[in-house]
Amino acid sequence: MKTVAIISKPDKPELLELVPEVLKWFEEHGYQTVLDDETASYAPGSPSVERTTIGEHDPKFVLVLGGDGTLLSAARAVAAAKIPILGVNLGSLGFLTEVPLSELYETLAAVDNDRCAVEKRSMVHCRLVRHDETVVEFHALNDAVINKSAISRLVSFDLYLDNVFVSNYKADGVIVSTPTGSTAYSLAAGGPILMPSVDALVISPVCPHSLTHRPLVVRDTVEITIEVQSAGEEAFLSIDGQVGVPLEDNDKVLCRKSPYSCTLLRMRKTFFDVLRTKLKLGIR
């Protein structure tokens, strides 16, 4: 029997009706379903699994019911298992979860019959080093962000590329984003838009003290090292805007292209179609 996993956004009232309907569709089409805890809460009596263990059940694909944040969480959970993700937009922007609810079953039928486009998205591997020891590491689809707390003063960041010193930033933070993440926080900080297929990473300072500090595009073969000089100010490392780790003075955050990639099941829309629809790029 084919298997599909479902990951849902918490506290979405429409899922009370939607989840049972989706489960019925999968049952009628010969699928066994694996539900994360959030999805199971909308299907009384259905067993659930931890989101991080979904890959162990070898589903044909993961259906994400939510917004871009839910898809980012799903990507971190299943990218290593190379499981494709289909995102259905129940949020506001839906840049990654581009399938509207009105086209859900039409798209599911296309996926079931292997008629859906597949797109690989690179990820960034981020490692926090303290006193020459790795404290924690992550894989992110959008970005890794090193920033100060809301009440802290500017924090100093030293930037190195392949151990070669590049610059010192005195800023609210620094963003290391993938091409996918270039249309997220990095774009809001003044960074460029990269096509998803570009083999690059973007380094964007957030509100730098010097106007000469601009976003920097580098090949994704380099290792980016950001050393934090906080001088007692609070600083944090956040992954895809969802996972946060407090930083200490002289901590180093090392970023490079992840060995994993995120596989997205897409509609027949180009990247620029999505830009025009979601970001109103080039709309007169």
How confident is the model over 52-74, as pLDDT tens digits? 999 999 999 999 999 999 999 99
Exposed, middle or buried by CB within 10 Å (0-12, 13-18, 19+), for 282? exposed
> What percentage of the chain carries pLDDT values higher than 70?
98
Would 195 be classed as within a structural domain? yes
Q: Which residues of 40-55 are buried (b: 16+ CB within 10 A; e: fewer)?
A: bbbbeebeeeebeebb
Q: Do 223 and 271 belong together in one domain?
A: no
Rounded Cα–Cα distance for residues 123 and 98 (Å): 19
The token pair at 32 is: 């066994």
Catalytic residue among 11, 36, 58, 68: 68
Rounded Cα–Cα distance for residues 93 and 98 (Å): 9
| Nearest residue to 179 via CA among 213, 215, 143 | 143
Would 232 be classed as within a structural domain? yes
| Nearest residue to 7 via CA among 39, 31, 46 | 39
pLDDT reading at 152 higher than 70: no
Q: What is the mean pLDDT of residues 197-226?
A: 93
Rounded Cα–Cα distance for residues 10 and 38 (Å): 6
Please give the residue range of the domain that contains residue 45: 2-116+267-278
Q: Do 147 and 46 belong together in one domain?
A: no
68 is catalytic: yes
Q: Do 189 and 233 belong together in one domain?
A: yes
Rounded Cα–Cα distance for residues 25 and 258 (Å): 35
pLDDT reading at 21 higher than 90: yes
pLDDT of residue 112: 94
Q: What is the mean pLDDT of residues 104-109?
A: 95
Q: Do 129 and 112 belong together in one domain?
A: no
Of the listed ranges 11-25, 46-60, 242-256, 269-283, the least confidently predicted one is 269-283
Rounded Cα–Cα distance for residues 215 and 202 (Å): 7
Would 284 be classed as within a structural domain? no
Into how many domains does the chain fold? Answer: 2
pLDDT reading at 39 higher than 80: yes
Q: Do 98 and 131 belong together in one domain?
A: no
pLDDT reading at 283 higher than 70: no
Q: Do 86 and 151 belong together in one domain?
A: no
Q: What is the mean pLDDT of residues 67-85?
A: 95
Give the tens place of pLDDT for each residue, 234-255: 889 999 999 889 999 999 999 9
The token pair at 167 is: 């610059």
pLDDT of residue 179: 98
Q: Do 106 and 213 belong together in one domain?
A: no
Q: Do 134 and 28 belong together in one domain?
A: no
153: domain CATH number is 2.60.200.30
Would 35 be classed as within a structural domain? yes
Q: In the predicted model, what is the mean pLDDT of the chain?
A: 92
97: domain CATH number is 3.40.50.10330
